[in-house]
């Protein structure tokens, strides 16, 4: 599943091809994604694209009259083709022909992604309005995490993966951040100390920023190649490493299901 760093990498990859250009023609081969693509999506055409932004894992393609809201779901990817003679692949559901001659294709085999339209005079879209702060913004700080965790019995891992608390902390990044902060993933959120919240906020920011930086180096592969969107696995400490020696203390990494998600941690390094 593309997580925040992959989505941000995609946004950065497509932005130069979209910004200040317009969609001359929009071809939709499959209307039924997670939700049906609304007919109003046609309003995206013949409008100058004024911004390509990201909010959580949504990519927002903005014009003066509204915005297209794109989510990559479980298996989606956006790919720029600079020539129109590259044949359309199976599962390329949407094609945006841009005024600069490039073609943006939305590929999504499992169709859990979405493409929606919101007019600029409409209130914030329901998918976006309840989202918590961006993890890399100043709004996500120790005070925010302290306030969100007090008196909560939910496991800290589930809490940081809740997009109403903070967006974009997926399963891999949650496991890695908790390891870096030395916090056991199953602990009740309300029992996490101020110092630990501070470490956890720093760890989340560091891990996501590092993944985005790594993504930058593989940008071509990510946006332009035939490959499926990949994870930035270069520097994982615990995720997927059950039974392997902890790189910090040497004890075997444990695996446990928390909130129906596989969780990896070290019993020695995380308390
Ligand atoms: Zn360890």
What integer pLDDT is reported at residue 179 of this predicted model? 98
Let me know: does 149 contact 114? Beta carbons within 8 Å.
Answer: no
Q: Say if residue 216's pLDDT is above 60.
A: no
Please indicate, yes or no, whether residues 8 and 125 belong to a single structural domain of this protein: yes
Residue 137, in any domain of the structure: no
Verify whether residue 3 is a known catalytic residue: yes
- Quote the number of domains for the chain: 2
105, 129, 153 - which closes a domain? 129
Verify whether residue 220 is a known catalytic residue: no
Both tokens assigned to 270: 């995380």
Residue 134, in any domain of the structure: no
CA-to-CA distance for 246 and 252, rounded, in angstroms? 6
129, 152, 184 - which closes a domain? 129
Report every protein residue that has its C-beta within 5 angstroms of ion ligand 1. Answer: 246, 248-249, 266, 268-269
Q: Which of 43, 57, 105, 184 is catalytic?
A: 57
Please indicate, yes or no, whether residues 227 and 118 belong to a single structural domain of this protein: no
102, 129, 156 - which closes a domain? 129
CA-to-CA distance for 229 and 69, rounded, in angstroms? 19
Residue 261, in any domain of the structure: yes
Let me know: does 174 contact 185? Beta carbons within 8 Å.
Answer: yes
Residue 94 belongs to domain spanning: 4-129
CA-to-CA distance for 245 and 51, rounded, in angstroms? 46
Please indicate, yes or no, whether residues 103 and 174 belong to a single structural domain of this protein: no
Please indicate, yes or no, whether residues 246 and 165 belong to a single structural domain of this protein: yes
Q: The pTM is what? A: 0.89
Please indicate, yes or no, whether residues 74 and 163 belong to a single structural domain of this protein: no
Please indicate, yes or no, whether residues 68 and 178 belong to a single structural domain of this protein: no
Residue 271, in any domain of the structure: no
Both tokens assigned to 257: 């299901």
pLDDT tens per residue across span 138-192: 999 999 999 999 999 999 999 999 999 999 999 989 999 999 999 999 999 999 9
Q: Which residues lie closer than 8 Å to 36 by C-beta, 6 or more apart?
A: none
Please indicate, yes or no, whether residues 197 and 123 belong to a single structural domain of this protein: no
CA-to-CA distance for 55 and 145, rounded, in angstroms? 19
pLDDT tens per residue across span 12-65: 989 999 999 999 999 999 999 999 999 999 999 999 999 999 999 999 999 999
Partner residues linked to 61 by β-bridges: 52, 68
Mapping DSSP onto H, E and C, the string for the chain reads CCCHHHHHHHHHHHHHHHCCCEEEEEEECCCECCCECCHHHHHHECCECCEEEEECCEEEEEECCEEEEEECCCCCEEEEECCCCCCCCCCEEEEEEECCCCEEEEECCCCCCEEEEEECCCCCCHHHHCCCCCCCCCCCCHHHHHHHHCCCCCEHHHHHCCCCCCCCCCHHHHHHHHHHHCCCCCCEHHHCCHHHHHHHHHHHHHHHHHHHHHHHHCHHHHHHCCCCCCCCCCCCCCCCCCCCECCCCCCECEEEEECCEEEEECCCCCC
The CATH number of the domain holding residue 54 is 3.20.190.10
CB atoms within 10 A of CB 126: 8
pLDDT tens per residue across span 58-111: 999 999 999 999 999 988 999 898 776 788 999 999 999 999 999 999 999 999
What integer pLDDT is reported at residue 44 of this predicted model? 97
Q: Which of 12, 88, 210, 261 is catalytic?
A: 261
Please indicate, yes or no, whether residues 84 and 189 belong to a single structural domain of this protein: no
The CATH number of the domain holding residue 181 is 1.10.8.50
Residue 176, in any domain of the structure: yes
Please indicate, yes or no, whether residues 70 and 45 belong to a single structural domain of this protein: yes
- CA of 242 from ligand 1 middle (Å) equals 12
Tell me which of 3 and 115 has the higher pLDDT: 115
Report helix angle 194-217 to 142-149, nearest 10: 120
- CA of 2 from ligand 1 middle (Å) equals 28
Please indicate, yes or no, whether residues 149 and 85 belong to a single structural domain of this protein: no
Residue 192, in any domain of the structure: yes
Please indicate, yes or no, whether residues 11 and 121 belong to a single structural domain of this protein: yes
- CA of 232 from ligand 1 middle (Å) equals 22
């Amino acid at each position: 599943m593309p997580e925040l760093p992959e989505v941000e990498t995609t946004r950065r990859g497509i932005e130069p091809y979209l910004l200040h250009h317009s969609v001359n023609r929009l071809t939709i081969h499959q209307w039924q994604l997670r939700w049906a693509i609304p007919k109003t999506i046609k309003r995206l055409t013949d409008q100058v694209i004024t911004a390509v932004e990201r909010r959580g894992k949504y990519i927002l393609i903005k014009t003066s009259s509204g915005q297209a809201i794109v989510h990559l779901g479980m298996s989606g990817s956006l790919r720029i083709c600079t020539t129109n003679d590259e044949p359309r692949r199976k599962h390329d559901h949407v094609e945006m022909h841009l005024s600069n001659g490039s073609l943006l294709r939305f590929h999504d085999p499992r169709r859990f992604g979405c493409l929606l339209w919101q007019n600029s005079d409409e209130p914030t879209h329901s998918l976006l309005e309840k989202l918590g702060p961006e993890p890399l913004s100043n709004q996500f700080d120790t005070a925010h995490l302290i306030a969100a965790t007090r008196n909560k019995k939910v496991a800290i891992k589930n809490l940081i993966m809740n997009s109403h608390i903070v967006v974009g902390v997926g399963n891999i990044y949650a496991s890695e951040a908790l390891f870096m902060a030395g916090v056991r993933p199953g602990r009740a959120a309300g029992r996490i100390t101020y110092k630990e919240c501070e470490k956890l906020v720093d760890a989340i920011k560091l891990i996501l920023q590092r993944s985005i930086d790594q993504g930058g180096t593989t940008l071509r592969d990510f946006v332009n190649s035939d490959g499926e969107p990949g994870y930035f696995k270069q520097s994982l400490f615990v995720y997927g490493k059950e039974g392997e020696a902890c790189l910090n203390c040497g004890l075997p990494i444990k695996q446990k299901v928390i909130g129906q998600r596989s969780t990896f941690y070290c019993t020695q390094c995380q308390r």
